[in-house]
Each structure stands twice: as structure tokens, then as C-alpha cells.
Structure 1
Amino acid sequence: MTESPSFAYSVLNRLYEYYDSHGIAAKLAEPDDEAPYASLLIRFEEIGSRNDAALLEISFIPGLEEAEKEGVYLLQTFAVLRDQTAPDSYGVLLDECARLNLTLPIGAFGVTESGGTLYFKHNAMFRSDWLEGESGLQQLDRMNGLVLHQLHQFMDQLADKA
């Protein structure tokens, strides 16, 4: 991302303002050395029967300048559900994620090989004209609602395996 506000940054900023106006705590994280792209961070509490928390990180995938010239943007939603899992649980958790992923309407659960981080990830491709208006923000919110619904629905099941 360049020093001047990009289209992707302006969409994240508008989405931040949208959530802020609806009383949903969010933070717009500026690019830095660790993450050279802006992201919108939204923390949700009370997920599943254990009342777990999840932090959604929403960002546009950087480095796609050619696509952006054509008005195409790739948005990623990412949430770490567990920083680590027990090494002996890795295989069972990986199998459970694969089984669940067959039924999900969007995104996928996964487990990193190193450290066993349990995560959810969703990528979506958008045209810039679709993202420009208020209806674009509402559609992004609905997509985030579906992500949150899936976290509510499957967090306990996955946490039991972790």
C-alpha cells in the first residue's frame, strides 16, 4: 500500500465507520513493518458455549496491483481461534476441520503445521464498483455475519478437539 490512501484503504475505513456507527468495537490498523497492509480488526465475545472470543482481521490482499487497475480486489477475513493446540491433537483437529469444510457455505477452518494454530480464513473477490456504495458495506457486513455465525456454530466442536 502506498503512502496516500488507496481505494482498498478507503473501503476498510468506511467499513470501520459503518461498524462504529452501529456500536460495534473495531479498530483500523495502519500498515507497518510486520503487516505492510491496512486491516480492520473486529473483536467478538461470547462465541460458543465457552464464551470464547475471536478477532476478525479483514484486509485486502496486497501485491495485486494489476488486478486493482482493472477494479478487482481480493478481500481476506482471518481469525485465529486457538494460538496453539496440543501436538497429539493435531491430526484429529485437522481431520475435523476437513470434515467441517465440506459443509461450510464460505471459508475454511485450518490448523498450521508449525505450532498448531487453529484458524478460520475466507477470501472473496470484488469489483470496485460493487464496494463503492452503502449497499456494498451492507453486503460486506452480511458476509462477516455469516463468518461469525459459522464461528458460533463450530467453535465448541473444534475447541473440544484442540
Structure 2
Amino acid sequence: MNCRNDILMLLQACQRLYETVGIPGRLAESAEDTAYSSLVLSFDAIGRFNRSVKTELNRIPGLEAEQEGIHILQIFASSLDLNRNDRESEPSYPPDLYRTVNRLNVSLPLGAFGLMEDEAVLFYKLNVLLDLKQDLGWNTQLIDRNIGLLLHIHDVFIDTLEEVATGKLSYDSAISRLRLP
């Protein structure tokens, strides 16, 4: 098999897994103009405010050792849409948001939050090292565990990050609430 087919089969297996528990997914297969397939999943009821977190799973092209069957799968989550409809100018973010994200990232076991300023999106990115010499079930379970970690991290931190992003909570208060070192 080739890399594209292996990854596509893995994404299809993940889609089936999540659909069995009521989480619909949308698979976008690679085409001539895209280098990779991706799976988009949306998880609801995250955090105190029951928000949705959209994730996209795709491989990072060019970083794999294909002959060894090693590939990196990126799990990218659009964590918070920071675009407010009442803005007439370019978005600006409180310095406390950057400081809080940086401090939090040092404490996270895997992955990191970041800010795409032009799109006004706070994101979380996690990379998973796949071994396509293992069977499909093994890699699917590995991805599922990492998505579980992603959802747990969001459940614990996303509400506080939103309060910092909107200026309702200071850096010091956020660090204290999150009990970060």
C-alpha cells in the first residue's frame, strides 16, 4: 500500500469508530489539488459552557519515513472563535492571553495551544506518531486515546482561556484558577 491509501483507510476507521458513538465525521479525500485526506469531527458539551470543538485529522506531508511505515498525524482543533461581530477593526488580543497560553503550554503533557491571529482562532494542535506496520485497530486506538486527551485538556482549560481572551479574567487569576506552577 502507499501512504495515501494507508492514511485514508485509517481515517475511515476513525470515522466509523466515532459514528458508532453518535459523533458524525466528514471525510475529505485527497485530490490532485490537496496533498492529503482529512477527517473533520465535532465534539459537543465541552467545558462548563458546553461548547463545541471541531477537530481535523490529517497527516503532515513530507515528515514521514515511508520506508519505515512511520507517519505523523496532526490533530488540529479549532478551540475558540475569537471573532466578535461587533469588531470594526482588526482583532486585538489582551497580552494576558498570550502569557496564559504560553504558561499553560509548558504544563501540558502533549500538544499546545496557539493563536491564528488573522483568523481570530485559538487552536490546539497535537501530533501523533503512527506506525503503519501495526494493524489498523492499533493505530485507530492510538488516535482515539489522543483525541480523548485533547478533549480532556479542552474540558479543563477552555473556559478559562475564553475568559482571558475576552478580558474577563487576568493572567494572574487564570494561573491561580488553573493551579499552574
Q: Which TM-score tier does this pair reach, normalised by the shorter chain?
A: 0.7 to 0.9
2-side partners of 1:95 and 1:34: how far apart?
38
1-side partners of 2:133 and 2:105: how far apart?
30
Q: CA deviation at 1:34?
A: 7.2
Alignment partner of 2:70 out of 72, 75, 78: 72
2-side partners of 1:150 and 1:44: how far apart?
13
Q: CA deviation at 1:54?
A: 0.7
Residues 75, 90 of structure 1: alpha-carbon distance in 2 compared, 3 angstrom cutoff: farther
The farther-off stretch of 133-142 and 71-80 is 133-142
Q: CA deviation at 1:139?
A: 2.2
Residues 61-85 of structure 1 show CA distances to partners (whole Å, capped at 9, x for unaligned) of 1234x61222110110001122335
Q: Which letter maps to 1:72?
A: I
Correspondence for 1:144:
147
Residues 126-146 of structure 1 show CA distances to partners (whole Å, capped at 9, x for unaligned) of 22123x242332222111101
Cα RMSD between the aligned structures?
2.3
TM-score in terms of structure 2 length: 0.77
Q: CA deviation at 1:18?
A: 1.7
Q: Which runs of 4+ in 1 moved over 6 A?
A: none
Contact 2:131 2:139 survives alignment (8 Å): no
Task: State, as a whole percentage, how many aligned pairs show the same letter.
Answer: 35
Q: Which letter maps to 1:139?
A: L
Q: Max radius of gyration: which structure?
A: 2
Residues 120, 48 of structure 1: alpha-carbon distance in 2 compared, 3 angstrom cutoff: same
Correspondence for 2:164:
161
Contact 2:10 2:136 survives alignment (8 Å): no
Residues 147, 138 of structure 1: alpha-carbon distance in 2 compared, 3 angstrom cutoff: same
Residues 72-119 of structure 1 show CA distances to partners (whole Å, capped at 9, x for unaligned) of 101100011223357442422111111111111111001124343210
1-side partners of 2:31 and 2:79: how far apart?
24
Gapped regions of structure 2 (runs ≥ 5): 85-90, 166-181
Q: Which letter maps to 2:157?
A: F
1-side partners of 2:11 and 2:94: how far apart?
34
Count of aligned positions? 158
Task: Provide the secondary structure at the position in 2 that maps to 1:37.
Answer: coil
Residues 114, 90 of structure 1: alpha-carbon distance in 2 compared, 3 angstrom cutoff: farther
